[in-house]
Chains A and B, each alone.
Chain A
Amino acid sequence: MKKLSRTASSLLVSSLSLPGFTELLAAESEANNFQYRYTLYDEEPLPQNVLAQGDPDRYRIKSHQFRFEQDLNERFTLTVEGIHESMSGSSPWYVFPDPDRGPLQVMSGATISETRNEIGLTLGTQNNGVTHAFRGGYSTENDYDAVSAAYTGEYEQQNKHTTLSWGVSYSDDRLSPTDAELFGRIPHAERNSISASFGLTRILNRNALIQSGVQITHQDGFLSDPYKEMWINGGVFFDKRPDQRTAFSWTTRFRQYFVGSNAALHADYRFYDDDWSVTAHTLDLAWHQPFGENFELAPSIRYHSQRAANFYQPAITDGQQPKYWSSDYRLATYGAMRYRLSGTWRAEIWSLALNADIYNSSESLALSGPLFDTPALVDFWRISLGWQISWQ
């Protein structure tokens, strides 16, 4: 049977993924398959000249992902997926406005190794030319639990070469920050989030297709980071963000085939906007070049630019008393470049992929937005190895 398209089911992998957009492939039914991927993520240490205090060695994460997809019968497909991650390293706490040396980053002491586990189960089915998928997910780590549910649908109009897709999802998260009493952190908090998406995929001609869609998300509850703080007029206070956030994103993906070189160009653009005043543009360009029957090399670059949340500042020293505040560098104005090289080996029933990434972020790469000195902007490298086997 025609399975739920790869994109729709794959996009539901972690509770961080949502019903999004689906894939239009000519009469393609996916084989049953099992996939595994190992990823090593390593952040560059905080430079000594901007370190105020704490451990400069930042995050290192090792992840094991798996995914199993099997037709139960002609109408139903089951997908089971999971991730096991172990994390260690220190993270930024707050920015100290040193009167002589400028803004310096205070880091936490190195964390003990933590693990996160997530599992998701999806049931896909087809009825009258419409494909539906229902997913339930659960993610847990020592200070965070999340339960999620999602539904996606897809309808392919064969003659018009168009596929419509839609989805909704919901997530309920509970936080229990570690060492809450010791550091005066909030001991328990909750947040939930609901999201809806709609998209369209269209074949343009024999060599090209395009997909475009929108997503709206609304979050409610405790949205601050319980571990982060901010220097305000001589005192240090816990991160305080609004208790609601509404976000809009619009993503367009384009695929173009070149007959001469048997290569494919991928161009993806996402526009993001929310009511915290964050606006972001993200562009991902990749060139997929096959060599011979079984090997493909794909270099790609990803450019991301965001403008700061309206309550973001590194530190406050001028006597302001804002309603909300955060010194979290992830809410600052900055731009980032990610360089990637991927190599994939494909045979009829298996494939192996190796990906290497370098990511650099900097205030100077931002397109626009209020600029601050953000000492904690992170650089990282990532290496990842994936393997897949399929059967009828």
Chain B
Amino acid sequence: MLNSATRLFWTLLLWACLHLQALAVQPGGPAPGFELPRLDNGETIRLSDFKGKVVYVDFWASWCGPCRQSLPLYEDLQKRLPVGQFQIIAINLDEDRKDAEAFLKRHPVSYLILSDPEGISASAWSVPAMPTSFLVDSSGKIANIYIGFEPSHIGTIEHDIKALLDSTAASHPD
């Protein structure tokens, strides 16, 4: 019925569809970086601006249930930890910025929110699910990846952040 070339084409296409996987970004490897505008004032922010600090990069959107749960808990976390050494950066992936703005109006947070409506940074960081967050150490390497969110994860996240802060302090005693 189908000639060999056509059969091969469809088989390869089928195989590609079933097995196509983005290359994963791994803990221990370098963080891919980003260059994105702030949601509030459009100022361009780069990951490299925060070299020397521990950074928690969170990919979220207003339509994602666990994301909504995480925001107030991250706000508490940012407030509890020293801002000079630790920064939460939340990259919003709402296709329409207005959805994010409306959501933040009702649930304001004080940490940094960047806007990436086209998902360019999400692709670069191979975000596997919504939400996903990456703990980046002061030298720009990925220390941990947290896929999904549950309120009970905050304990583990805080513990991991403190461990990085302590090791940074240990290597920079002044």
Contacts and interface: CB of A to CB of B under 8 A. Distances in A.
Query: Do A and B touch, yes or no (CB under 8 Å, in the complex)?
Result: yes
Interface in B54-90: 63-67, 69
A365 B152 CA distance: 57
Nearest to A206: B95
B102 A27 contact: no
Given A1-B150, A74-B150, A74-B152, A27 B65 contact: yes
Given A1-B150, A28-B63, A74-B152, 20 more contacts: A26-B63, A26-B130, A27-B64, A27-B66, A27-B67, A27-B129, A27-B131, A27-B148, A28-B64, A28-B65, A29-B65, A29-B66, A29-B69, A30-B65, A31-B65, A158-B128, A158-B129, A160-B18, A293-B102, A348-B106
Interface in A341-358: 348
Contacts of A48: none
A151 to B, nearest CB: 25
Contacts of B65: 27-31
Contacts of A29: 65-66, 69
Contacts of A74: 150, 152
Interface in A9-30: 26-30
A113 interface: no
Give the interface size class of chain A.
Answer: 10 to 19
A377 B65 CA distance: 46
A336 to B, nearest CB: 37
B21 interface: yes
Interface in B1-34: 18, 21
A74 B148 CA distance: 13
6 contacts: A26-B64, A27-B64, A28-B63, A28-B64, A31-B65, A74-B152
A49 interface: no
Contacts of B63: 26, 28
Interface residues of B, number: 17
Contacts of B21: 159
Contacts of A30: 65
Interface in B81-114: 102, 106
Contacts of B67: 27
Nearest to B128: A158
A340 B31 CA distance: 53
Contacts of A28: 63-65
A287 B87 CA distance: 45
A392 B107 CA distance: 14
B57 to A, nearest CB: 17
Contacts of A27: 64-67, 129-131, 148
A158 B102 CA distance: 29
A28 B152 CA distance: 17
Nearest to A31: B65
A28 B129 CA distance: 11
> Which of A1, A27, A29 has the most chain B CB within a 10 Å cutoff?
A27
Contacts of B129: 27, 158
Interface in A270-301: 293
Contacts of A160: 18
Interface string B117-131: 000000000001111
A26 B148 CA distance: 11
A348 B21 CA distance: 35
